[in-house]
């Protein structure tokens, strides 16, 4: 997928630590140091932080509401009770694709491969890619619900 975004735009990317990511090799590299115990402890904290930020998320719902907001929710399989829900106000859907024409027949929840946000002036362009599902939209910055 080509990205036609000016280089001056800020990009925020969250990538999944699933079979699509490279984090296990990152962890191996971070622990292959021969430094002392204190340095290893510091490296372990950094690795744990990186892995926490890159854990797998499962998309459980994605809805474009009649008033134009996008509302979606997701969770980490390690903490399924901790559901994160967000509303993206005044959204304009730019691109949509799913493996099955009937979204209800997809294997929900869907594994998130990538979520990206790029700033365009006062608004943002969001790209959400799952195994069988892809959405791209522009909206204001989201509000956590």
Structural domain boundaries enclosing 101: 11-17+55-144
Per-residue pLDDT of 31-89, as tens digits, reads 334 444 455 555 555 555 555 555 678 999 999 999 999 999 999 888 889 999 999 99
pLDDT of 124 strictly over 80: yes
What pLDDT is recorded for position 120?
Answer: 87
- Domain annotation covers residue 130: yes
Please, where are the H alpha helices in 23-118? 23-30, 37-53
CA quadruple 49, 51, 54, 57: dihedral sign? negative
Comparing CA positions, the residue from 60, 47, 52, 49 lying closest to residue 112 is 60
What pLDDT is recorded for position 108?
Answer: 95
pLDDT of 23 strictly over 50: no
Q: How far is CA 65 from the centre of its chain?
A: 21
- Domain annotation covers residue 50: no
What gap in Å lies between CA 17 and CA 78, rounded to an integer? Answer: 12
pTM of this prediction exceeds 0.85: no
What pLDDT is recorded for position 142?
Answer: 94
- Domain annotation covers residue 70: yes
- Domain annotation covers residue 37: no
- Domain annotation covers residue 84: yes
- Domain annotation covers residue 6: no
What pLDDT is recorded for position 47?
Answer: 53
At 79, phi and psi to the nearest 5?
A: -140, 65
Q: 32-36, 98-102, 106-110 — which is least confidently predicted? A: 32-36
Q: Show the beta-strand stretches assigned E in 20-109.
A: 58-64, 70-76, 79-88, 92-98
What pLDDT is recorded for position 78?
Answer: 84
At 25, phi and psi to the nearest 5?
A: -70, -35
Mean residue pLDDT of the chain comes to 75
The structural domain count of the chain equals 1
- Domain annotation covers residue 28: no
């Amino acid at each position: 997928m080509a990205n036609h975004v000016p280089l001056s735009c800020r990009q925020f990317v969250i990538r999944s630590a699933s079979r699509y990511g490279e984090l296990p090799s990152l962890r191996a590299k971070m622990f292959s140091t021969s430094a002392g115990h204190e340095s290893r402890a510091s490296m372990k904290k950094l690795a744990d932080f990186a892995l926490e930020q890159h854990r797998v998320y499962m998309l459980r719902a994605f809805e474009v509401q009649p008033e134009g907001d996008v509302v979606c929710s997701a969770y980490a399989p390690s903490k399924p009770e901790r559901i994160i829900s967000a509303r993206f106000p005044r959204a304009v859907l730019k691109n949509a694709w799913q493996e099955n024409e009937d979204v209800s027949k997809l294997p929900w929840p869907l594994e998130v491969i990538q979520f990206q946000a790029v700033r365009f002036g006062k608004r943002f362009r969001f790209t959400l890619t799952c195994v069988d599902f892809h959405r791209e939209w522009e909206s204001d910055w989201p509000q956590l619900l």
